[in-house]
Structure 1
Amino acid sequence: MSELRFSLADVAGVRFAVSPANETVMSMWALGDPVRYAVHLPWIDRARLTLRRPEVADRVRPLVELTRPRRWLPDFLTPAARPGMEMTDQLDQIAATPPDVVVQDLLATIPRGPLSPFGQALLADPRGLLPPLVDALRVWYDEAIAPDWTRMRALLDADVAHRAAQLAEGGAGRLFAQLHPSLRWLGDRVVSDDPFERDFDLRGRGLALNPSVFADRRVLWNLLEDSLPAGAYPVRAVGTLWERVPATPGDPLARVVGVGRAALLHLLAAPATTTDLARRTGMSGGNVSQHLAALHAAGLVSRSRRGRHVLYRNTEAATVLVRASGGG
């Protein structure tokens, strides 16, 4: 069990951001344990073919060795992300890790199992071997993550919008109570049911919260004394990540409003962004926007802004139509 102690400044400093580095690093767990990560099998099948290519396998080997299943990650591989950061920004963060921090983070993983051959070499020469590790991250992102990043990003952004609304409407207590079942908010601290046994004072630095496609069972904390504390938590609705949910012409609702608009109404029982709807239906973003504009004008969807996100949701009239058509 871990405890994170908050001051008023820490509560005010809670922020959300999407971390492409987290997804790049943690995706290796899915490759190593496809049964546990069965929800990602469509991606795993493609990624395994990518990793079999000799020119990829050789350059990615340092990352593979540091992310073996059921082993702890060295924290410097998953630095806290700030809003708007891209993979290039996070690669620069990792490349700038001081050698003593690399050593410290590697040593911290040993209780979970011995270091791999590359881990041992990196421990002995952190300055010389950090560049090929950064190159491994870059290659894996470009080859395995970037082709699906728009889809992943839409899901992650939708989660950020949802959590921001929770924070605005119910404060930090509601946010942490609903962020993950393993967390409890006790007024001045978060108690996390995990095996890490950390007692950590945030000391006014706040906390970066990063939704993650590949974090699956608990919140993964990155708690360092000299950098922004962070937590990667499982994203909502990850089961929808690889699905397509188009309406069919046989749908009674589709015969009334059209196939595309019916597909959106079936999905908008919960708030969603244009990008998320495009991902889930396979329609282009422009096509989704046109349909949403028509549905909004007809009083069938409402829209609200949460930060830089615009969320759409069915109105009561639309809910009646969907139910009447047998869709909910």
Structure 2
Amino acid sequence: MSELRFSLADVAGVRLAVSPVNETVMSMWALASPVRYAVHLPWIDRARVTLGRPEVAARVRPLTHLVGRGRWLPDFLTPAARPNVEMAEQLEQIAATPPSVVVQDLLATTPSRPLNPFGQALLTDPRGLLPQLVDAVRVWYDEAIAPDWPRMRVLLDADVAYRAAQLAENGAGRFFEQLHPSLHWHGDRVISDDTFERDFDLRGRGLALNPTVFTQRNVLWNLLEDSLPAGAYPVRAVGTLWEATAPPAGDPLARVIGPGRAALLHLLDTATTTTDLARRTGMSAGNVSQHLAALHAAGLVSRSRQGRHVRYRNTDAAGVLLRASGVPTPAR
């Protein structure tokens, strides 16, 4: 069990952001344990082909050796992300890690498993070998993550928007308890039901929270004394990440209003953006926008703005249509 102690400044300093380097590094867990990460099998199948190319395998080897099944991550590999951070910035941050921190973080992983040969070599010569590790992360991102990054980014951004609304509406205590079942707010601290024994004072630095695609169980903490504390938590709706949604076969509503518009109505029981709908249906964003405009004009969807995002949701009239077509709709 871990405890994170908050001051008033820490509560005010809670922030949410997407970390491309987290997805790149943690994706290695899915590659090593496909059964455990079965939801990602479409990506795993493609990633295995990519890693099977000799020129990729050779350059990515430092990362595959350092991140594997049952291995703890050295904290310097998953730095806290600030809003709108780009992959290049995070790689520069990793490259600038002081050698003493690299050594400290590597040694902290040894209770899970002994370091492999690359880990041992990095421990001995962090300044000389860290560039090889940074290059491995960069290559793996370019080859395996970047092609699917727009799809992942939509899901991660949607989670950030949802959690930010929860934080604004419910306050920090309720926010943390809704973030993950393993978290509980008690007085001035968050208690995390995990296998670690940490009692960590945030000391006014706040806390960066990053949703992640490739984390399934507990919140993973990155708690360093000399940098921004961070936590990586499982993103919502990860099961939708690789699917292309269509209306159910034989859906009578599709015969009346068309399969594209019917597909959207089946997805709009919760407020959703155009970009997310395009990802989930496989339609272009322009096509989705045209369908939504028609549905909105017909009074079947409503729209609302949250920050820079416009979100659409079914109206009661759409619910009547869906029920009449024999499709159950979630209770509001």
TM-score (norm 1): 0.97
Larger deviation, residues 13-22 vs 248-257 = 248-257
Q: 1:249 offset after TM fit, Å?
A: 7.7
In 1: Cα distance, 2:171 partner to 2:4 partner: 17
**What runs of 5+ residues in structure 1 fail to find an aligned partner?**
none
Partner of 1:161: 161
Q: How does 1:175-324 map to 2 (within 5 A)?
A: 175-247=175-247, 250-324=250-324
Q: Distance in 2 between matches of 1:199 and 1:188?
A: 13
Quick check: 1:249–1:255 contact (8 Å CA) kept in 2? Answer: no
In structure 2, what residue type is equivalent to 1:9? A
SS at match of 2:35: coil
- Residue deviations 1:107-158, cap 9 Å, x none? 1001111001101100111111010100000000000001111111111111
Percent identical across equivalent pairs?
Answer: 82
CA displacement at 1:200 relative to structure 2: 0.8
Structure 2 residue 62 is matched with structure 1 residue 86: no
The amino acid of 1:11's aligned partner reads V
1:198-253 per-residue CA deviation (whole Å, 9 max, x = no partner) reads: 11111111111111000001100011111111111001111111111122683211
Structure 1 Cα separation of the partners of residues 284 and 303 of structure 2: 19
| 1:311 Cα deviation from its structure 2 partner | 2.1
Relative to the length of structure 2, the TM-score reads 0.96
Q: Contact 1:200–1:223 (CA<8 Å) still a contact in 2?
A: yes
Query: Alpha carbon RMSD of aligned pairs, Å?
Result: 1.2
Partners of 1:128 and 1:198 lie apart in 2 by 32
Q: Distance in 1 between matches of 2:7 and 2:150?
A: 36
Offset at 1:64? Answer: 0.3
* CA displacement at 1:279 relative to structure 2: 0.7
Letter in 1 for 2:212: S
Q: Which amino acid aligns with 1:266?
A: H
Q: Shift in Å at residue 55 of structure 1?
A: 0.1
In structure 2, give the amino acid aligned to 1:318.
A
In structure 1, the partner of 2:100 is 100
- SS of the residue 2:210 aligns to: strand
1:12 aligned onto 2:8: no
Alpha-carbon shift at residue 267 of structure 1 (Å): 0.5
* Alignment partner of 1:150 is 2:154: no
Q: Secondary structure at the match of 1:112?
A: coil
Matched residues in 2 for 1:319 and 1:254: separation?
Answer: 14
**Alpha-carbon distance in 2 for matches of 1:175, 1:308:** 22
- 1-structure distance, mates of 2:316, 2:32: 45
Q: Distance in 2 between matches of 1:312 and 1:172?
A: 27
Letter in 2 for 1:104: Q
**Count of equivalent residues:** 328
The alpha carbon displacement at 1:306 in A equals 2.6
Deviation at 1:308, TM superposition (A): 2.9
Superposition deviation, residue 302 in structure 1 = 2.0
Partner of 2:76: 76
Distance across 2 between alignment mates of 1:302 and 1:204: 41
Instruction: Give CA deviations for 1:14-43 in whole Å, capped at 9, x if unaligned.
Output: 111111100000000001011100111111
CA distance in 1, matches of 2:66, 2:109: 10
Instruction: Provide the C-alpha distance between the structure 1 equivalents of 2:11 and 2:295, rounded to a whole number of angstroms.
Output: 39
Amino acid at match of 2:11: V
Which structure 1 residue ranges, 4+ long, deviate > 3 Å from structure 2? none
